[in-house]
Amino acid sequence: MSEQLSIRVFPDSQFRNSLATFVVLVALMKTEVKGMDFNQRPFTVIWETTRACDLVCLHCRADAIPDRNPYELTTQEAFRLVDMICEFGQPYPIFILTGGDPMKRPDIFDIVAYATQKGVRVAMTPSATPLVTREAIKRLAEAGLVRLAISLDESTPEIHDSFRGVQGSFAHTLRILDWCREFGIETQIHTTVTKHSLEDLPKVADMVAELGIKLWALFFLIAVGRAARPEVRRLNISPHDFERVFNWMYDLSKSAPYDITPREGYHYRRVMLQRRAQELGVPVEELLKEVLEKSLRPTDVVPSKDRPKIVRAPMGVNDGRGVVFISHVGLVQPSGFLPLAGGSVREKPLAEIYRHSPLFVRIRDYSQLKGKCGVCEFKQICGGSRSRAYAVTGDYMRSDPYCIYRPKAWGKSKKEIATVAQT
């Protein structure tokens, strides 16, 4: 990544650089901030509606194919899944319909409508194919879809279309965003960060601003599905580039007219706190304590007057810890990028699997984290990507191999580390 990855056109926000002001801001927000016990309930439920998709994205996690699997959850099972989400109680987790391409299911409008009638907020991540028409967006809006997320990897069609494997995908993405605006559906952009897209990120950032997007999510590659192939693994950026992108994101987050978040880049939260503490002139430990005690969200820590108000989870969400993924055949996984299941919704209620299955209980138990993540002072807000640890090492409790941070306790004697790991 070169110098080009620097902040562009956004005006300076009115930042308050004193701890006193920060504390006042936190106090003002306190009424909105509620702790959330991720041992009991997820913030987000993601359902892989199907693995069928007409795109052939180079890095596809789902290794999607053109046709639907006859063993996918049926419409009735999808309704039952919505009922299971409601069993977590109010406020219901956000329900995200992903794929493959959810638009390959003709019943998708009924499923959105069913969940909406139950009071569940639904978002969807369709693929930019001719299945998404103006009429389809209108029907989704009528069914109650709250937000639509779509991929945009580059600021020009050439690399985006070659990455997604279909000519015209870039242009259709822009049309879909127009239709969402027309019918009042919030929009979100997903960008996969690779060696190809790295230098272009500032231009994509400008586009996201011009398109009036609510949230920009930057996805960091996990070697799973088609992304596990050597030619795709080679596209992953280096751990040092993770750090540089995170610092760039932090600067951008202060003035961008949208919210920005990493996916499978949990150590961004550590960078965020380090940078914010530096700005406030306070020890980072003090800020970390405040974040943990008050269950603060990223948007509480880095305020911005330009950012739209959207619901964000308190920091600490990680694979299987505030997020749960249900596969197209009903398997319950900590993440779509971690192909291990704690059970099936065809056999047990979702809440029971999420709360009590050995896989989910263990992955949330940070006293069992190994290596640097196990002794890291930031682990309660970060914990490293469990999916990346699994993809790279085969052990989902090992350290995130793409974090360069050296925890304070790292390098101490094994006895000392064991003591820290229990805290």
384 binds ligand SF4 (CB under 6 A): yes
Distance CA 188, CA 178 (A): 12
- Tell me the CA distances in angstroms from 248 to 5, 19, 199, 377, one per residue in order: 7, 23, 12, 23
Inter-residue contact 39 to 324 (CB < 8 Å): no
Q: Which is nearer to ligand SF4, 5 or 382 (CB)?
A: 382
Q: How far is the CB of 319 from ligand SF4 (least distance, A)?
A: 12
Which residue stretch of 100-108, 332-340, 350-358, 399-407 sits at the interface with ligand SF4 (rule: CB under 6 A)? 399-407
390 binds ligand SF4 (CB under 6 A): no
Q: How far is the CB of 311 from ligand SF4 (least distance, A)?
A: 24
Q: How far is the CB of 284 from ligand SF4 (least distance, A)?
A: 11
Which residue stretch of 39-47, 148-156, 172-180, 403-411 sits at the interface with ligand SF4 (rule: CB under 6 A)? 403-411
Inter-residue contact 128 to 173 (CB < 8 Å): yes
Q: Which is nearer to ligand SF4, 262 or 342 (CB)?
A: 262
Tell me phi and psi for residue 127, to 5 degrees: -90, 150
- Tell me the CA distances in angstroms from 148 to 169, 179, 187, 289, 410, one per residue in order: 16, 11, 5, 35, 42
- Centre a 10 Å sphere on the Cβ of residue 245 and count the other Cβ atoms it contains: 22
* Chosen residue from 155, 197, 318, 399 binding ligand SF4 by CB under 6 A: 399
317 binds ligand SF4 (CB under 6 A): no
Which residue stretch of 152-160, 183-191, 324-332, 398-406 sits at the interface with ligand SF4 (rule: CB under 6 A)? 398-406
Burial of 413 (0-12, 13-18, 19+ CB in 10 A): exposed
Q: Which of residues 252-281 bind ligand SF4 (CB under 6 A)?
A: 267, 270
Q: Which of residues 86-115 bind ligand SF4 (CB under 6 A)?
A: none
Q: Which of residues 340-379 bind ligand SF4 (CB under 6 A)?
A: 372-373, 376, 378-379
Inter-residue contact 97 to 122 (CB < 8 Å): yes
Q: How far is the CB of 369 from ligand SF4 (least distance, A)?
A: 8
Q: What is the CA radius of gyration of the chain?
A: 21
Q: How far is the CB of 115 from ligand SF4 (least distance, A)?
A: 33
* Chosen residue from 353, 382, 391, 417 binding ligand SF4 by CB under 6 A: 382
Q: Which is nearer to ligand SF4, 85 or 272 (CB)?
A: 272
Q: Is 117 helix (H, G, I), strand (E, B) or coil?
A: helix
Residue of 33, 330, 8 whose CA lies nearest to 343 = 330
Q: How far is the CB of 377 from ligand SF4 (least distance, A)?
A: 8
Centroid of chain to Cα 324: 11
Q: Which is nearer to ligand SF4, 146 or 301 (CB)?
A: 301
Residue of 11, 25, 15, 21 whose CA lies nearest to 255 = 11
Which residue stretch of 112-120, 273-281, 305-313, 402-410 sits at the interface with ligand SF4 (rule: CB under 6 A)? 402-410
Which residue stretch of 78-86, 247-255, 349-357, 397-405 sits at the interface with ligand SF4 (rule: CB under 6 A)? 397-405
- What residue type is 26 in one-letter code? V
* Chosen residue from 5, 400, 417, 421 binding ligand SF4 by CB under 6 A: 400
Inter-residue contact 422 to 399 (CB < 8 Å): no
Q: Which is nearer to ligand SF4, 297 or 398 (CB)?
A: 398
- Tell me the CA distances in angstroms from 210 to 9, 164, 204, one per residue in order: 11, 23, 10
Residues paired with 217 in a beta bridge: 190, 261
Which residue stretch of 123-131, 182-190, 303-311, 395-403 sits at the interface with ligand SF4 (rule: CB under 6 A)? 395-403
Counting residues that bind ligand SF4 (by CB under 6 A) gives 15
Inter-residue contact 390 to 417 (CB < 8 Å): no
Distance CA 8, CA 168 (A): 28
Distance CA 173, CA 242 (A): 27
| Binding stretches for ligand SF4 (CB under 6 A) | 267, 270, 372-373, 376, 378-379, 382-384, 399-400, 403, 405, 407
